[in-house]
Structure 1
Protein backbone atom coordinates (compact mmCIF):
# COMPACT_ATOMS: atom_id res chain seq x y z
CA UNK A 1 0.00 0.00 0.00
CA UNK A 2 1.46 3.33 -1.09
CA UNK A 3 1.36 5.94 1.68
CA UNK A 4 1.90 9.64 1.01
CA UNK A 5 3.18 11.06 4.30
CA UNK A 6 2.20 14.57 3.14
CA UNK A 7 -1.45 13.59 2.59
CA UNK A 8 -4.09 13.80 5.31
CA UNK A 9 -7.56 12.33 4.88
CA UNK A 10 -8.75 13.06 8.42
CA UNK A 11 -11.48 15.46 7.22
CA UNK A 12 -13.48 12.59 5.73
CA UNK A 13 -14.47 11.47 9.25
CA UNK A 14 -15.83 14.87 10.29
CA UNK A 15 -19.35 14.07 9.07
CA UNK A 16 -19.81 11.66 12.00
CA UNK A 17 -21.22 14.12 14.53
CA UNK A 18 -22.43 11.50 17.05
CA UNK A 19 -20.55 8.29 17.78
CA UNK A 20 -20.39 5.25 20.04
CA UNK A 21 -17.40 3.05 20.81
CA UNK A 22 -18.45 -0.42 21.93
CA UNK A 23 -16.18 -3.04 23.46
CA UNK A 24 -17.08 -6.68 22.78
CA UNK A 25 -16.18 -10.00 24.40
CA UNK A 26 -17.13 -13.27 22.71
CA UNK A 27 -19.05 -16.02 24.42
CA UNK A 28 -16.51 -18.52 25.78
CA UNK A 29 -18.41 -21.47 24.31
CA UNK A 30 -18.14 -20.05 20.78
CA UNK A 31 -14.82 -20.89 19.05
CA UNK A 32 -12.96 -17.78 17.97
CA UNK A 33 -13.10 -18.56 14.24
CA UNK A 34 -16.87 -19.13 14.42
CA UNK A 35 -17.28 -15.93 16.41
CA UNK A 36 -15.20 -13.85 13.98
CA UNK A 37 -16.95 -15.27 10.91
CA UNK A 38 -20.43 -14.74 12.35
CA UNK A 39 -19.62 -11.20 13.47
CA UNK A 40 -18.18 -10.26 10.09
CA UNK A 41 -20.57 -12.00 7.71
CA UNK A 42 -23.88 -12.43 9.59
CA UNK A 43 -24.13 -9.73 12.26
CA UNK A 44 -22.21 -7.12 10.23
CA UNK A 45 -24.57 -6.99 7.22
CA UNK A 46 -27.58 -7.05 9.57
CA UNK A 47 -26.31 -4.02 11.49
CA UNK A 48 -25.44 -2.25 8.25
CA UNK A 49 -29.07 -2.23 7.17
CA UNK A 50 -30.55 -0.72 10.33
CA UNK A 51 -31.80 2.76 9.29
CA UNK A 52 -30.03 5.90 10.47
CA UNK A 53 -26.45 4.64 10.33
CA UNK A 54 -23.77 6.84 8.80
CA UNK A 55 -20.67 4.93 9.96
CA UNK A 56 -20.12 1.33 11.05
CA UNK A 57 -16.71 -0.26 11.57
CA UNK A 58 -15.68 -3.49 13.30
CA UNK A 59 -12.19 -3.75 14.79
CA UNK A 60 -11.26 -7.37 15.55
CA UNK A 61 -8.70 -7.62 18.34
CA UNK A 62 -6.01 -10.25 18.74
CA UNK A 63 -5.70 -11.88 22.16
CA UNK A 64 -2.25 -13.18 21.22
CA UNK A 65 -1.02 -9.62 21.23
CA UNK A 66 2.53 -8.36 21.06
CA UNK A 67 3.89 -7.66 24.55
CA UNK A 68 5.48 -4.46 23.24
CA UNK A 69 2.32 -2.78 21.98
CA UNK A 70 2.45 0.10 24.45
CA UNK A 71 5.41 1.07 26.66
CA UNK A 72 5.03 0.54 30.38
CA UNK A 73 5.26 3.67 32.51
CA UNK A 74 5.96 3.52 36.24
CA UNK A 75 2.75 4.05 38.19
CA UNK A 76 0.46 3.20 35.26
CA UNK A 77 -1.05 -0.26 35.66
CA UNK A 78 -2.94 -2.40 33.14
CA UNK A 79 -6.69 -2.59 33.68
CA UNK A 80 -7.21 -5.70 35.81
CA UNK A 81 -8.80 -8.74 34.13
CA UNK A 82 -9.37 -6.87 30.88
CA UNK A 83 -9.72 -9.10 27.81
CA UNK A 84 -11.52 -8.07 24.62
CA UNK A 85 -12.24 -9.59 21.22
CA UNK A 86 -13.24 -6.41 19.44
CA UNK A 87 -14.26 -2.78 19.31
CA UNK A 88 -17.04 -1.21 17.24
CA UNK A 89 -17.74 2.29 16.01
CA UNK A 90 -21.37 3.12 15.22
CA UNK A 91 -21.78 6.72 14.12
CA UNK A 92 -24.47 9.12 12.98
CA UNK A 93 -24.71 12.37 11.09
CA UNK A 94 -26.97 13.86 13.78
CA UNK A 95 -29.11 12.99 16.80
CA UNK A 96 -32.22 12.53 14.64
CA UNK A 97 -30.53 9.73 12.72
CA UNK A 98 -29.36 8.20 15.99
CA UNK A 99 -32.95 8.21 17.25
CA UNK A 100 -34.05 6.47 14.03
CA UNK A 101 -31.40 3.80 14.57
CA UNK A 102 -32.30 3.33 18.24
CA UNK A 103 -35.98 2.88 17.41
CA UNK A 104 -35.18 0.05 14.98
CA UNK A 105 -32.20 -1.54 16.76
CA UNK A 106 -33.99 -4.29 18.71
CA UNK A 107 -33.66 -6.53 15.64
CA UNK A 108 -29.90 -6.04 15.88
CA UNK A 109 -29.45 -6.32 19.63
CA UNK A 110 -31.41 -9.59 19.79
CA UNK A 111 -28.63 -11.12 17.66
CA UNK A 112 -25.81 -10.23 20.07
CA UNK A 113 -26.51 -13.16 22.40
CA UNK A 114 -25.43 -15.57 19.66
CA UNK A 115 -21.77 -14.58 19.90
CA UNK A 116 -21.17 -11.91 22.57
CA UNK A 117 -20.80 -12.51 26.30
CA UNK A 118 -20.42 -8.78 27.02
CA UNK A 119 -20.83 -5.54 25.10
CA UNK A 120 -20.40 -2.03 26.50
CA UNK A 121 -21.36 0.98 24.39
CA UNK A 122 -19.55 4.16 25.44
CA UNK A 123 -21.39 7.27 24.26
CA UNK A 124 -19.66 10.03 22.32
CA UNK A 125 -22.44 12.59 21.77
CA UNK A 126 -19.90 15.07 20.42
CA UNK A 127 -18.31 12.49 18.16
CA UNK A 128 -14.76 11.19 18.02
CA UNK A 129 -11.79 12.98 16.50
CA UNK A 130 -9.41 11.86 13.76
CA UNK A 131 -6.28 13.96 14.19
CA UNK A 132 -4.43 12.55 11.18
CA UNK A 133 -5.11 9.85 8.58
CA UNK A 134 -2.50 9.27 5.89
CA UNK A 135 -4.11 6.03 4.70
CA UNK A 136 -5.79 6.53 1.31
CA UNK A 137 -8.34 3.70 1.56
CA UNK A 138 -11.48 5.08 3.27
CA UNK A 139 -13.11 1.65 3.71
CA UNK A 140 -10.64 -0.98 4.97
CA UNK A 141 -12.02 -4.51 4.81
CA UNK A 142 -9.51 -7.03 5.95
CA UNK A 143 -6.19 -7.96 7.33
CA UNK A 144 -4.04 -5.26 5.77
CA UNK A 145 -0.30 -5.09 6.26
CA UNK A 146 -0.50 -2.08 8.58
CA UNK A 147 0.20 -2.24 12.32
CA UNK A 148 -3.00 -1.18 14.06
CA UNK A 149 -3.70 -0.95 17.78
CA UNK A 150 -6.22 0.43 20.27
CA UNK A 151 -4.89 1.75 23.57
CA UNK A 152 -7.47 1.93 26.36
CA UNK A 153 -6.58 4.44 29.06
CA UNK A 154 -8.17 5.34 32.39
CA UNK A 155 -7.54 7.99 35.05
CA UNK A 156 -7.41 5.58 38.00
CA UNK A 157 -7.50 7.78 41.10
CA UNK A 158 -6.33 10.84 39.17
CA UNK A 159 -8.49 13.83 38.29
CA UNK A 160 -10.70 12.80 35.34
CA UNK A 161 -10.69 16.22 33.68
CA UNK A 162 -6.90 16.46 33.86
CA UNK A 163 -6.77 12.91 32.51
CA UNK A 164 -8.86 13.86 29.48
CA UNK A 165 -6.66 16.90 28.82
CA UNK A 166 -3.54 14.73 29.09
CA UNK A 167 -4.83 12.17 26.60
CA UNK A 168 -5.82 14.98 24.23
CA UNK A 169 -2.28 16.41 24.42
CA UNK A 170 -0.79 12.97 23.89
CA UNK A 171 -2.92 12.33 20.80
CA UNK A 172 -1.88 15.68 19.33
CA UNK A 173 1.81 14.89 19.85
CA UNK A 174 1.43 11.45 18.26
CA UNK A 175 -0.33 12.95 15.25
CA UNK A 176 2.59 15.25 14.46
CA UNK A 177 5.04 12.38 13.97
CA UNK A 178 5.28 10.77 10.50
CA UNK A 179 5.59 7.33 12.12
CA UNK A 180 1.87 7.57 12.92
CA UNK A 181 -0.25 6.93 9.83
CA UNK A 182 -3.53 7.34 11.69
CA UNK A 183 -4.49 8.79 15.08
CA UNK A 184 -8.14 8.72 16.14
CA UNK A 185 -9.21 9.70 19.65
CA UNK A 186 -12.31 8.60 21.54
CA UNK A 187 -13.15 10.46 24.77
CA UNK A 188 -16.56 9.09 25.71
CA UNK A 189 -18.85 10.15 28.49
CA UNK A 190 -18.55 8.18 31.75
CA UNK A 191 -20.36 4.86 31.49
CA UNK A 192 -23.40 4.42 33.76
CA UNK A 193 -24.02 0.85 34.90
CA UNK A 194 -27.52 1.91 35.96
CA UNK A 195 -28.33 2.60 32.30
CA UNK A 196 -26.67 -0.34 30.51
CA UNK A 197 -26.02 -0.04 26.81
CA UNK A 198 -26.66 -1.49 24.35
CA UNK A 199 -29.84 -3.14 25.68
CA UNK A 200 -29.10 -6.60 24.25
CA UNK A 201 -30.79 -9.51 26.04
CA UNK A 202 -28.66 -12.18 27.76
CA UNK A 203 -25.48 -10.13 27.27
CA UNK A 204 -23.57 -8.42 30.09
CA UNK A 205 -23.36 -4.62 29.92
CA UNK A 206 -21.66 -3.58 33.15
CA UNK A 207 -18.10 -2.45 33.90
CA UNK A 208 -16.00 -2.22 37.07
CA UNK A 209 -15.39 1.26 38.52
CA UNK A 210 -11.97 1.69 36.89
CA UNK A 211 -13.53 1.30 33.42
CA UNK A 212 -16.47 3.65 33.87
CA UNK A 213 -14.35 6.45 32.41
CA UNK A 214 -11.93 5.57 29.62
CA UNK A 215 -10.21 7.08 26.62
CA UNK A 216 -9.23 5.15 23.50
CA UNK A 217 -6.34 5.93 21.18
CA UNK A 218 -6.78 4.28 17.76
CA UNK A 219 -3.25 4.20 16.31
CA UNK A 220 -1.78 2.90 13.06
CA UNK A 221 1.89 2.44 12.19
CA UNK A 222 3.36 1.09 8.98
CA UNK A 223 5.02 -1.86 10.74
CA UNK A 224 5.76 -3.15 14.25
CA UNK A 225 9.36 -2.00 13.71
CA UNK A 226 8.16 1.56 13.03
CA UNK A 227 6.01 1.39 16.17
CA UNK A 228 8.78 0.22 18.46
CA UNK A 229 11.25 2.71 16.98
CA UNK A 230 8.82 5.55 17.68
CA UNK A 231 8.28 4.45 21.27
CA UNK A 232 12.05 4.62 21.78
CA UNK A 233 12.19 8.16 20.36
CA UNK A 234 12.82 11.33 22.34
CA UNK A 235 9.47 12.72 21.20
CA UNK A 236 7.57 9.92 22.92
CA UNK A 237 9.88 9.91 25.94
CA UNK A 238 9.02 13.57 26.50
CA UNK A 239 5.38 12.58 27.14
CA UNK A 240 6.22 10.14 29.95
CA UNK A 241 6.01 12.56 32.88
CA UNK A 242 2.65 13.92 31.74
CA UNK A 243 1.31 10.39 31.32
CA UNK A 244 2.49 9.32 34.79
CA UNK A 245 0.88 12.36 36.40
CA UNK A 246 -2.57 11.90 34.90
CA UNK A 247 -3.06 8.32 33.61
CA UNK A 248 -3.77 5.49 36.03
CA UNK A 249 -4.46 2.55 33.70
CA UNK A 250 -3.34 1.55 30.21
CA UNK A 251 -4.07 -1.63 28.24
CA UNK A 252 -3.27 -2.00 24.55
CA UNK A 253 -4.95 -4.33 22.06
CA UNK A 254 -3.60 -5.37 18.67
CA UNK A 255 -6.09 -4.96 15.81
CA UNK A 256 -6.09 -8.08 13.63
CA UNK A 257 -8.59 -6.68 11.14
CA UNK A 258 -10.58 -3.50 10.43
CA UNK A 259 -13.85 -3.97 8.53
CA UNK A 260 -15.92 -1.04 7.23
CA UNK A 261 -19.61 -1.66 6.50
CA UNK A 262 -21.14 1.82 6.25
CA UNK A 263 -19.45 5.08 5.29
CA UNK A 264 -21.31 8.39 4.83
CA UNK A 265 -24.71 6.63 5.07
CA UNK A 266 -23.83 4.28 2.19
CA UNK A 267 -23.25 0.56 2.40
CA UNK A 268 -19.76 -0.49 1.41
CA UNK A 269 -19.30 -3.72 -0.53
CA UNK A 270 -18.70 -5.46 2.82
CA UNK A 271 -21.93 -4.02 4.19
CA UNK A 272 -23.87 -5.16 1.16
CA UNK A 273 -22.40 -8.64 0.70
CA UNK A 274 -20.56 -9.55 3.90
CA UNK A 275 -16.88 -8.98 4.59
CA UNK A 276 -15.47 -12.23 3.17
CA UNK A 277 -17.68 -12.15 0.07
CA UNK A 278 -16.52 -8.59 -0.57
CA UNK A 279 -12.89 -9.71 -0.26
CA UNK A 280 -13.49 -12.45 -2.87
CA UNK A 281 -15.14 -9.99 -5.26
CA UNK A 282 -12.17 -7.63 -4.99
CA UNK A 283 -9.62 -10.43 -5.26
CA UNK A 284 -11.14 -11.83 -8.45
CA UNK A 285 -11.92 -8.42 -9.92
CA UNK A 286 -15.58 -9.38 -10.29
CA UNK A 287 -16.70 -5.92 -11.36
CA UNK A 288 -20.07 -7.30 -12.49
CA UNK A 289 -20.86 -7.90 -8.80
CA UNK A 290 -20.58 -4.17 -8.07
CA UNK A 291 -23.14 -2.85 -10.56
CA UNK A 292 -26.27 -0.98 -9.50
CA UNK A 293 -28.38 -3.73 -11.08
CA UNK A 294 -26.83 -6.34 -8.77
CA UNK A 295 -27.23 -4.03 -5.77
CA UNK A 296 -30.91 -3.54 -6.61
CA UNK A 297 -31.44 -7.29 -6.99
CA UNK A 298 -29.86 -8.01 -3.61
CA UNK A 299 -31.93 -5.33 -1.89
CA UNK A 300 -35.26 -6.03 -3.57
CA UNK A 301 -35.17 -9.64 -4.76
CA UNK A 302 -35.91 -8.70 -8.35
CA UNK A 303 -34.24 -7.05 -11.31
CA UNK A 304 -34.99 -3.37 -11.80
CA UNK A 305 -35.56 -3.88 -15.54
CA UNK A 306 -38.55 -6.14 -14.74
CA UNK A 307 -40.31 -3.68 -12.47
CA UNK A 308 -41.92 -1.48 -15.14
Structure 2
Protein backbone atom coordinates (compact mmCIF):
# COMPACT_ATOMS: atom_id res chain seq x y z
CA UNK A 1 0.00 0.00 0.00
CA UNK A 2 1.26 3.45 -0.94
CA UNK A 3 0.38 5.43 2.20
CA UNK A 4 1.44 8.77 0.74
CA UNK A 5 -0.76 8.26 -2.32
CA UNK A 6 -3.78 7.41 -0.15
CA UNK A 7 -3.27 10.41 2.13
CA UNK A 8 -2.87 12.70 -0.86
CA UNK A 9 -6.20 11.52 -2.26
CA UNK A 10 -8.10 11.83 1.03
CA UNK A 11 -6.73 15.24 2.03
CA UNK A 12 -7.30 16.78 -1.40
CA UNK A 13 -10.40 18.99 -1.38
CA UNK A 14 -13.28 17.81 -3.54
CA UNK A 15 -15.47 20.23 -5.50
CA UNK A 16 -18.23 19.79 -2.90
CA UNK A 17 -15.79 20.53 -0.08
CA UNK A 18 -14.64 23.72 -1.77
CA UNK A 19 -18.24 24.96 -1.91
CA UNK A 20 -18.98 23.90 1.67
CA UNK A 21 -15.79 25.56 2.87
CA UNK A 22 -16.90 28.81 1.30
CA UNK A 23 -20.61 28.76 2.23
CA UNK A 24 -20.58 26.50 5.34
CA UNK A 25 -23.78 24.85 4.12
CA UNK A 26 -24.22 21.11 3.69
CA UNK A 27 -24.69 20.00 0.07
CA UNK A 28 -26.44 16.76 -0.87
CA UNK A 29 -24.32 15.38 -3.70
CA UNK A 30 -26.84 12.71 -4.73
CA UNK A 31 -29.61 12.52 -7.34
CA UNK A 32 -33.10 13.30 -5.99
CA UNK A 33 -34.43 9.78 -6.59
CA UNK A 34 -31.89 8.30 -4.16
CA UNK A 35 -33.08 10.05 -1.00
CA UNK A 36 -36.11 11.39 0.81
CA UNK A 37 -36.01 14.49 3.01
CA UNK A 38 -38.97 14.82 5.35
CA UNK A 39 -39.50 16.26 8.84
CA UNK A 40 -35.82 17.14 9.16
CA UNK A 41 -34.62 13.59 8.40
CA UNK A 42 -32.62 12.62 5.32
CA UNK A 43 -33.31 8.97 4.41
CA UNK A 44 -31.05 7.41 1.79
CA UNK A 45 -31.77 4.23 -0.15
CA UNK A 46 -29.31 1.94 -1.93
CA UNK A 47 -29.96 3.26 -5.46
CA UNK A 48 -26.85 5.43 -5.61
CA UNK A 49 -24.50 3.28 -3.56
CA UNK A 50 -24.63 -0.34 -4.67
CA UNK A 51 -24.63 -2.02 -8.04
CA UNK A 52 -26.29 -5.41 -8.43
CA UNK A 53 -24.92 -8.00 -5.96
CA UNK A 54 -22.44 -5.51 -4.48
CA UNK A 55 -22.09 -5.40 -0.70
CA UNK A 56 -19.65 -2.54 -0.02
CA UNK A 57 -19.54 1.19 -0.72
CA UNK A 58 -16.75 3.44 0.61
CA UNK A 59 -16.80 7.21 0.61
CA UNK A 60 -14.96 10.10 2.26
CA UNK A 61 -17.32 12.34 4.24
CA UNK A 62 -17.23 15.90 2.88
CA UNK A 63 -15.62 18.40 5.25
CA UNK A 64 -16.40 22.01 6.30
CA UNK A 65 -20.17 21.72 6.92
CA UNK A 66 -22.30 19.89 9.48
CA UNK A 67 -24.25 16.95 8.08
CA UNK A 68 -27.94 16.98 9.17
CA UNK A 69 -29.74 14.05 10.75
CA UNK A 70 -29.88 11.17 8.30
CA UNK A 71 -30.12 7.40 8.08
CA UNK A 72 -29.31 4.59 5.67
CA UNK A 73 -31.24 1.39 5.10
CA UNK A 74 -28.11 -0.69 5.60
CA UNK A 75 -25.27 -1.05 8.10
CA UNK A 76 -22.87 1.88 8.27
CA UNK A 77 -19.31 1.97 9.57
CA UNK A 78 -17.68 5.34 10.25
CA UNK A 79 -13.89 5.15 10.50
CA UNK A 80 -11.86 8.12 11.74
CA UNK A 81 -8.86 8.00 9.40
CA UNK A 82 -7.38 11.13 10.99
CA UNK A 83 -8.38 14.00 13.25
CA UNK A 84 -11.62 13.92 15.23
CA UNK A 85 -15.36 14.52 14.98
CA UNK A 86 -18.60 14.40 16.95
CA UNK A 87 -21.66 12.43 15.93
CA UNK A 88 -25.09 12.73 17.54
CA UNK A 89 -27.15 9.54 17.70
CA UNK A 90 -30.66 9.73 19.18
CA UNK A 91 -29.64 12.75 21.24
CA UNK A 92 -26.41 11.17 22.51
CA UNK A 93 -23.06 12.72 21.54
CA UNK A 94 -20.28 10.37 20.46
CA UNK A 95 -16.76 11.80 20.12
CA UNK A 96 -14.48 9.98 17.69
CA UNK A 97 -10.72 10.35 17.37
CA UNK A 98 -8.12 8.89 14.99
CA UNK A 99 -8.54 5.13 14.63
CA UNK A 100 -11.98 4.95 16.28
CA UNK A 101 -14.77 3.03 14.55
CA UNK A 102 -18.50 3.64 14.90
CA UNK A 103 -20.92 0.92 13.78
CA UNK A 104 -24.48 2.06 13.04
CA UNK A 105 -27.34 -0.34 12.52
CA UNK A 106 -29.66 0.04 9.53
CA UNK A 107 -32.11 2.89 10.13
CA UNK A 108 -30.02 4.59 12.83
CA UNK A 109 -30.63 8.35 12.83
CA UNK A 110 -27.51 10.42 13.33
CA UNK A 111 -25.92 13.77 12.52
CA UNK A 112 -22.23 14.65 12.05
CA UNK A 113 -20.51 17.83 13.16
CA UNK A 114 -18.53 19.95 10.72
CA UNK A 115 -15.12 18.46 9.93
CA UNK A 116 -11.95 20.54 9.76
CA UNK A 117 -9.08 20.39 7.29
CA UNK A 118 -7.31 17.49 9.05
CA UNK A 119 -10.47 15.56 9.99
CA UNK A 120 -10.88 12.66 7.57
CA UNK A 121 -13.93 10.47 8.19
CA UNK A 122 -14.42 7.43 5.96
CA UNK A 123 -17.87 5.88 5.60
CA UNK A 124 -18.29 2.18 4.80
CA UNK A 125 -21.81 1.16 3.78
CA UNK A 126 -22.47 -2.57 4.06
CA UNK A 127 -25.29 -4.71 2.70
CA UNK A 128 -25.48 -7.37 5.37
CA UNK A 129 -27.10 -10.14 3.33
CA UNK A 130 -24.82 -9.70 0.32
CA UNK A 131 -21.63 -9.51 2.36
CA UNK A 132 -22.45 -12.71 4.23
CA UNK A 133 -23.06 -14.65 1.03
CA UNK A 134 -20.00 -13.23 -0.72
CA UNK A 135 -17.50 -13.78 2.10
CA UNK A 136 -18.85 -17.24 2.86
CA UNK A 137 -18.18 -18.24 -0.74
CA UNK A 138 -14.61 -16.95 -0.34
CA UNK A 139 -13.91 -18.94 2.83
CA UNK A 140 -15.71 -22.15 1.95
CA UNK A 141 -13.35 -25.08 1.87
CA UNK A 142 -10.50 -23.67 3.94
CA UNK A 143 -12.13 -22.00 6.97
CA UNK A 144 -14.53 -23.88 9.21
CA UNK A 145 -16.42 -20.78 10.37
CA UNK A 146 -19.77 -19.13 9.76
CA UNK A 147 -20.49 -15.46 9.26
CA UNK A 148 -22.70 -15.49 12.36
CA UNK A 149 -19.59 -16.34 14.39
CA UNK A 150 -17.17 -13.88 12.83
CA UNK A 151 -19.51 -10.89 12.59
CA UNK A 152 -21.15 -10.64 16.02
CA UNK A 153 -21.94 -6.96 15.47
CA UNK A 154 -24.62 -8.05 12.97
CA UNK A 155 -26.49 -9.69 15.83
CA UNK A 156 -25.06 -9.01 19.29
CA UNK A 157 -23.68 -5.47 19.38
CA UNK A 158 -26.97 -3.99 18.15
CA UNK A 159 -28.97 -5.94 20.75
CA UNK A 160 -29.21 -3.06 23.24
CA UNK A 161 -28.26 -0.05 21.11
CA UNK A 162 -28.42 1.00 17.49
CA UNK A 163 -24.70 1.71 17.48
CA UNK A 164 -21.40 0.44 18.86
CA UNK A 165 -18.01 2.15 19.18
CA UNK A 166 -14.65 0.41 18.95
CA UNK A 167 -12.00 2.69 20.45
CA UNK A 168 -8.44 2.80 19.17
CA UNK A 169 -7.00 2.57 22.69
CA UNK A 170 -5.90 -1.06 22.76
CA UNK A 171 -2.96 -2.95 21.25
CA UNK A 172 -5.38 -4.55 18.79
CA UNK A 173 -5.81 -1.92 16.08
CA UNK A 174 -7.94 -2.05 12.95
CA UNK A 175 -6.24 0.86 11.19
CA UNK A 176 -3.85 -1.03 8.91
CA UNK A 177 -6.54 -3.46 7.79
CA UNK A 178 -9.09 -0.73 7.02
CA UNK A 179 -6.48 1.43 5.29
CA UNK A 180 -5.62 -1.50 3.03
CA UNK A 181 -9.29 -1.88 2.11
CA UNK A 182 -9.64 1.84 1.35
CA UNK A 183 -6.50 1.85 -0.79
CA UNK A 184 -7.56 -1.15 -2.88
CA UNK A 185 -11.03 0.35 -3.28
CA UNK A 186 -9.79 3.71 -4.58
CA UNK A 187 -6.81 2.36 -6.55
CA UNK A 188 -8.06 -0.93 -8.02
CA UNK A 189 -5.54 -3.29 -9.58
CA UNK A 190 -5.50 -6.95 -10.47
CA UNK A 191 -6.81 -8.99 -7.49
CA UNK A 192 -8.01 -5.85 -5.66
CA UNK A 193 -11.48 -7.35 -5.16
CA UNK A 194 -9.97 -10.47 -3.60
CA UNK A 195 -7.64 -8.42 -1.38
CA UNK A 196 -10.59 -6.33 -0.16
CA UNK A 197 -12.54 -9.49 0.72
CA UNK A 198 -9.58 -10.99 2.59
CA UNK A 199 -9.02 -7.79 4.57
CA UNK A 200 -12.74 -7.53 5.35
CA UNK A 201 -12.68 -11.08 6.63
CA UNK A 202 -9.64 -10.24 8.76
CA UNK A 203 -11.41 -7.13 10.06
CA UNK A 204 -14.53 -9.11 11.01
CA UNK A 205 -12.42 -11.73 12.78
CA UNK A 206 -10.60 -9.02 14.75
CA UNK A 207 -13.95 -7.42 15.56
CA UNK A 208 -15.32 -10.74 16.77
CA UNK A 209 -12.26 -11.30 18.96
CA UNK A 210 -12.52 -7.78 20.43
CA UNK A 211 -16.25 -8.33 21.07
CA UNK A 212 -15.60 -11.64 22.82
CA UNK A 213 -13.04 -10.01 25.10
CA UNK A 214 -15.30 -7.08 25.97
CA UNK A 215 -18.63 -8.90 26.18
CA UNK A 216 -20.02 -8.38 29.72
CA UNK A 217 -21.84 -11.72 29.72
CA UNK A 218 -18.66 -13.68 29.03
CA UNK A 219 -16.84 -11.97 31.89
CA UNK A 220 -19.53 -12.32 34.53
CA UNK A 221 -18.82 -14.62 37.41
CA UNK A 222 -21.64 -17.14 38.05
CA UNK A 223 -22.91 -15.16 41.06
CA UNK A 224 -23.00 -11.88 39.13
CA UNK A 225 -24.68 -13.52 36.16
CA UNK A 226 -27.46 -14.87 38.38
CA UNK A 227 -27.94 -11.51 40.11
CA UNK A 228 -28.12 -9.65 36.79
CA UNK A 229 -30.72 -12.14 35.53
CA UNK A 230 -32.78 -11.63 38.69
CA UNK A 231 -32.64 -7.85 38.29
CA UNK A 232 -33.64 -8.09 34.62
CA UNK A 233 -36.55 -10.36 35.47
CA UNK A 234 -37.80 -7.99 38.17
CA UNK A 235 -37.62 -5.00 35.82
CA UNK A 236 -39.50 -6.85 33.06
CA UNK A 237 -42.23 -7.99 35.45
CA UNK A 238 -42.66 -4.92 37.65
CA UNK A 239 -41.38 -1.94 35.65
CA UNK A 240 -44.58 0.03 36.23
CA UNK A 241 -43.96 0.56 39.94
CA UNK A 242 -40.54 -0.92 40.74
CA UNK A 243 -38.11 1.24 42.72
CA UNK A 244 -34.45 0.72 43.56
CA UNK A 245 -35.28 0.34 47.26
CA UNK A 246 -37.89 -2.34 46.55
CA UNK A 247 -35.68 -4.45 44.28
CA UNK A 248 -32.74 -4.17 46.71
CA UNK A 249 -34.91 -5.35 49.59
CA UNK A 250 -36.40 -8.19 47.54
CA UNK A 251 -32.95 -9.48 46.52
CA UNK A 252 -31.49 -8.90 50.00
CA UNK A 253 -28.86 -6.37 48.98
CA UNK A 254 -27.94 -2.85 50.02
CA UNK A 255 -29.56 -0.24 47.77
CA UNK A 256 -26.23 1.41 46.90
CA UNK A 257 -24.68 -1.96 46.06
CA UNK A 258 -27.50 -2.79 43.62
CA UNK A 259 -27.25 0.68 42.06
CA UNK A 260 -23.49 0.37 41.49
CA UNK A 261 -23.81 -3.23 40.30
CA UNK A 262 -26.36 -2.29 37.62
CA UNK A 263 -24.23 0.62 36.42
CA UNK A 264 -21.05 -1.48 36.26
CA UNK A 265 -22.66 -4.41 34.45
CA UNK A 266 -24.93 -2.59 31.98
CA UNK A 267 -23.46 0.90 31.66
CA UNK A 268 -26.88 2.32 32.57
CA UNK A 269 -28.52 3.44 35.79
CA UNK A 270 -31.50 1.67 37.34
CA UNK A 271 -33.75 4.56 36.29
CA UNK A 272 -32.52 4.39 32.69
CA UNK A 273 -33.30 0.65 32.50
CA UNK A 274 -36.76 1.19 33.96
CA UNK A 275 -37.52 3.99 31.51
CA UNK A 276 -36.31 1.95 28.53
CA UNK A 277 -38.74 -0.81 29.51
CA UNK A 278 -41.57 1.67 30.10
CA UNK A 279 -41.28 3.49 26.78
CA UNK A 280 -40.99 0.16 24.94
CA UNK A 281 -44.28 -0.93 26.49
CA UNK A 282 -45.81 2.47 25.75
CA UNK A 283 -44.80 2.13 22.11
CA UNK A 284 -46.71 -1.16 21.84
CA UNK A 285 -49.80 0.28 23.51
CA UNK A 286 -49.78 3.35 21.28
CA UNK A 287 -49.68 1.19 18.16
CA UNK A 288 -52.08 -1.55 19.20
CA UNK A 289 -54.66 -0.04 21.59
CA UNK A 290 -57.11 2.86 21.67
CA UNK A 291 -55.93 4.21 25.02
CA UNK A 292 -55.13 7.90 24.97
CA UNK A 293 -51.46 8.85 25.22
CA UNK A 294 -52.11 10.34 28.66
CA UNK A 295 -53.63 7.03 29.81
CA UNK A 296 -50.71 5.05 28.37
CA UNK A 297 -48.21 7.31 30.13
CA UNK A 298 -49.87 6.48 33.43
CA UNK A 299 -50.34 2.78 32.63
CA UNK A 300 -46.62 2.19 32.05
CA UNK A 301 -45.61 3.97 35.25
CA UNK A 302 -44.86 7.61 34.44
CA UNK A 303 -46.31 10.04 36.97
CA UNK A 304 -45.55 13.05 34.77
CA UNK A 305 -46.79 13.36 31.20
CA UNK A 306 -44.00 15.85 30.41
CA UNK A 307 -41.35 13.41 31.65
CA UNK A 308 -42.94 10.63 29.60
CA UNK A 309 -42.82 12.74 26.44
CA UNK A 310 -39.18 13.61 27.11
CA UNK A 311 -38.14 9.96 27.62
CA UNK A 312 -40.14 8.76 24.63
CA UNK A 313 -38.52 11.28 22.32
CA UNK A 314 -35.07 10.43 23.70
CA UNK A 315 -35.47 6.78 22.73
CA UNK A 316 -37.52 7.00 19.51
CA UNK A 317 -36.42 10.44 18.27
CA UNK A 318 -40.03 11.58 17.90
CA UNK A 319 -43.10 12.19 20.06
CA UNK A 320 -45.74 9.52 20.86
CA UNK A 321 -48.27 11.26 18.61
CA UNK A 322 -46.11 10.39 15.59
CA UNK A 323 -46.52 6.64 16.22
CA UNK A 324 -50.22 7.02 16.94
CA UNK A 325 -50.75 8.83 13.61
CA UNK A 326 -48.63 6.29 11.73
CA UNK A 327 -50.52 3.40 13.31
CA UNK A 328 -53.87 4.94 12.36
CA UNK A 329 -52.71 5.48 8.79
CA UNK A 330 -51.60 1.85 8.49
CA UNK A 331 -54.95 0.69 9.87
CA UNK A 332 -56.84 2.68 7.25
CA UNK A 333 -54.82 1.01 4.49
CA UNK A 334 -56.06 -2.43 5.52
Whether the TM-score (by the shorter chain) exceeds 0.5 is no
More helix by share: 2
Which is greater in Rg? 2
Greater relative CO (CA pairs within 8 A, separation 6+): 1
More strand by share: 1
Normalised TM-score (structure 1)? 0.30
Normalised TM-score (structure 2)? 0.28
